[in-house]
Structure 1
Amino acid sequence: MASSIDLPAVNFDTTGFPALKNDLYLRTARGEKTERAPVWCMRQAGRYLPEFRAIRVENEFFKVCRDPALATEVTLQPLRRYAGLLDAAIIFSDILVIPQAMGLEVQMVPGKGPHFPDPLRTPSDLSRLGDLGAGFSVDDELGYVYRALTNTRHALGGQVPLLGFVGAPWTLMAYMIEGGGSRTLALAKAWLFAHPTAAHELLARVADVAAQFLIGQVRAGAQALQVFESWAGELSPRDFADFSLPYLALIAKRVKAVFPDVPMTVFAKGAHYALELLATETCFDVISLDWSIDPAAARERVDKAMAAQAVPRSVVLQGNLDPTILLGDEQTIRERTAEMCRSFGPALHIANLGHGMLPSHDPERLRVFLEAVHESSAQLRR
């Protein structure tokens, strides 16, 4: 069924984007001194918003991702609701579009989440995946995301920058083998130890696709990028260094070789042990923190590691309020948000949650968080 929402005509012209009015996010991500911390939220467009749920009544999840007009509408919804409070938009899509593009079926099951009817089970299943240079084209398979980015860039009218994103190779590998979410990731982790050669082959192939996809996203209109390593915390430090870090570094290096000035963020959830490695062994501009680490401690560790290795660049931190705090009352949200901002201190940071918005969140609680960031971070910069 078509959406009952009144959608404007799409615009796929990549040559005439509106001038950017609010560049606070980009200036901060590039390490420039700013008047306050910019703020946006992971999953700021999604199921907690009634206007998003209205779209989903008539449209399957991945249909929204694939329809540029619908994806644009959903991306803009939080910008309308929280006018003047958000400093970035992130395109509405999903990290699992890469496995889909590579040939795996992915369903979004209501009440369950992503489901792969026929996941990878043995190394021989790698033959089912598309391979760059062998008739598989990222641009052909994922062009609908590019069209959504271009259309959204026009529709934003320069309000705020537009972010693109991908899932990281280890996280996507885990989904592709587990067939969905998992408490232990036992099937995926078994590949690391029983089939390490095949695991590295899969990770490398996904990294190739992810890097090319991000480059295409920038060409289509994305002004900054984020890589989500959502299952990083399920790896030991040694296994993260072997099976995650090299591919994160590879993706950033390849994108930066083409677009050196486009800010890139890495979010390795749960891998607080890897802060120093992410800062010194990759070229990401921003490291996003989950709520399990104190921002002041993270800042100290990153600065110390970079000084020790004479890394000639700055790294901005992003985060990191526990999303469940938004289930509390307004006073608690304001107090904990102010505490978070104080912990980051006057150093450059991008305010965000430590993970994504939850379906059970009251949209007005997010407004309280955004207002509190504006108030608290501006005071710290005075």
Structure 2
Amino acid sequence: MPVQNKPLLSVLSGGKTDIIPLWLMRQAGRYLPEYRALREAKGGFLELVFDSEAAAEITLQPIRRFGFDGAILFSDILIVPHALGQDLAFEAGEGPRLSPRLVDAALASLERVEARLQPIYDTVEKVAARLPTQTTFLGFAGSPWTVATYMVAGQGSREQAEARLHAYRDPTAFGEIIDAIADMTIDYLSGQITAGVDAVQLFDSWSGSLAPAQFERWVIAPTARIVAALKARHPGVPVIGFPKGAGGKLAAYARETQVGAIGLDETVDPAVAVADLPDDLPVQGNLDPFALLAGGEALESAVERILSRLRGRPHIFNLGHGIIKETPIAHVERLVALVRQA
């Protein structure tokens, strides 16, 4: 289908549309009753991720309900370390666990299992065949730094302390982890594109924890390598970079990684952020998920502030991070109405 008939893809590709495209990070998930019902029927989170029929259904649920302009693949950023050879489990109330932890074990002790990626490609193919023709299909992966923090610590960690310390104490070994993640991510995102996604997003959820020199080394450099490789393999497929917490380093990130669009988290004043970004670079965001949770006047004024500050430049409306699971359906419906009437 021509790019101009997909509003979100058109903006990502440098075009103009009559509407502001809209999608939400974590839009396929626990705030939806239909998701909760399917999860109860199927079992745990990983059971859903690796069941391509269930994962496709979850990806499509928010499109049917809200008519978003983008569908984000239902999966998880820890699929890459799982394919690199770590065991992956989700513990109720505790979150994901990877083993062996690379603070205790060498990367060389892992054995790649690329077959673990195949169910994700199967999901992509199923969704691509069922999406409305005007809906852009977004694949994703975690950026190397964020993925490495989980691989080193074996789980999410306060201030990413173990990964940060490991990177300072043994930058050679840590660099090997980053390189392995980047190599796998290139292949993984390329596989998603081949299977049917229109664009991809790199999530760097923990980039804000790094000092400037470390940010340059562990966020910008590997991201630039991934973007360059994907451009070479799949010319014209947009890559969105989302370096959460980058703040004043956003301009350097955009310039040096050459991402096709940049996501702004909720802590950023969009007017300030875009002043240092190229006028034609699409930006995405950046409603505070708690404003959406609150609803009412808080939601309406926050939406208007973002729309007014980004008016006149390529903009994809989104949250500054993932939707909160307690968010009422009615608040999401109101958000859609506000953006549609802008």
TM-score category by the smaller chain?
over 0.9
Please tell me whether the aligned partners of residues 265 and 320 of structure 2 are also in contact (alpha carbons under 8 angstroms).
yes
Q: 2:92 aligns to what?
A: 110
1:273–1:326 distance in 2 versus 1, CA, 3 Å: same
Q: Indicate the structure (1 or 2) with the bigger Cα radius of gyration.
A: 1
The Cα shift of 1:159 comes to: 4.1
Aligned residue for 1:250? Answer: 225
Could you tell me which residue of structure 2 aligns to residue 80 of structure 1? 64
Choose from 52, 55, 74 the match for 1:92: 74
> Is 1:372 matched with 2:338?
yes
Deviation at 1:155, TM superposition (A): 1.4
Inter-partner Cα distance in structure 1 for 2:200 and 2:226? 11
CA distance in 2, matches of 1:29, 1:217: 18
Q: How far apart are the structure 2 equivalents of 1:74 and 1:146? A: 15
Deviations along 1:247-293, one digit per CA (max 9) or x if unpaired, are: 00000000010111111100000011221112211221100000111
1:145 paired residue among 93, 98, 120:
120
Structure 1 pair 289/270, CA: closer, same or farther in 2 (3 Å)? Answer: same
Q: CA deviation at 1:117?
A: 4.6
**SS, match of residue 127 in structure 2:** helix
Q: Aligned ranges for residues 165-204 of structure 1 at < 5 Å?
A: 165-204=140-179
Runs of 4+ in 1 over 3 A off after TM superposition: 18-22
Q: Percent identity?
A: 36
Deviations 1:92-148 (A, max 9, x none): 0000001111111121222221122532124x5212223xxxxx464x330111110
State the alpha-carbon separation in 2 of the partners of residues 37 and 286 from structure 1. Answer: 15
Residue 99 of structure 1 aligns with an amino acid whose one-letter code is P
1:49 pairs with 2:32: yes
1:135-174 CA distances to partner (integer Å, 9 max, x unpaired)? x464x33011111000101111424011100001110100
Residue from 46, 52, 70 that aligns with 2:54: 70
Give me the CA root mean square deviation.
1.7
- Number of positions where the alignment pairs a residue of Structure 1 with one of Structure 2: 341
Equivalent of residue 286 in structure 1, options 228, 245, 261: 261
Q: Which residue of 1 aligns with 2:329?
A: 363
Matching residue within 275, 278, 284 for 2:250: 275
CA shift, 1:36, in A, is: 2.2
Task: Provide closer, same or farther for how the CA distance between residues 239 and 366 of structure 1 changes in structure 2, counting only shifts above 3 A.
Answer: same
Q: TM-score, normalised by structure 2?
A: 0.96
Q: Which runs of 5+ in 1 are unaligned?
A: 1-17, 131-135, 305-313, 377-382
Q: Please give the secondary structure, in 1, of the residue aligned with 2:178.
A: helix
CA contact (8 A) 2:3 2:9 kept: no
Report the counterpart of residue 297 of structure 1 in structure 2: 272
Q: C-alpha distance in 2, partners of 1:36/1:159? A: 13
Alignment gaps of 5+ in structure 2: none
Residue 235 in structure 1 maps to residue 217 in structure 2: no
Q: Deviations over 1:283-313 (max 9, x none)?
A: 2110000011111111111138xxxxxxxxx
Q: Calculate the TM-score normalised by the size of structure 1.
A: 0.86
Contact 1:20 1:159 in 2 (8 A): no
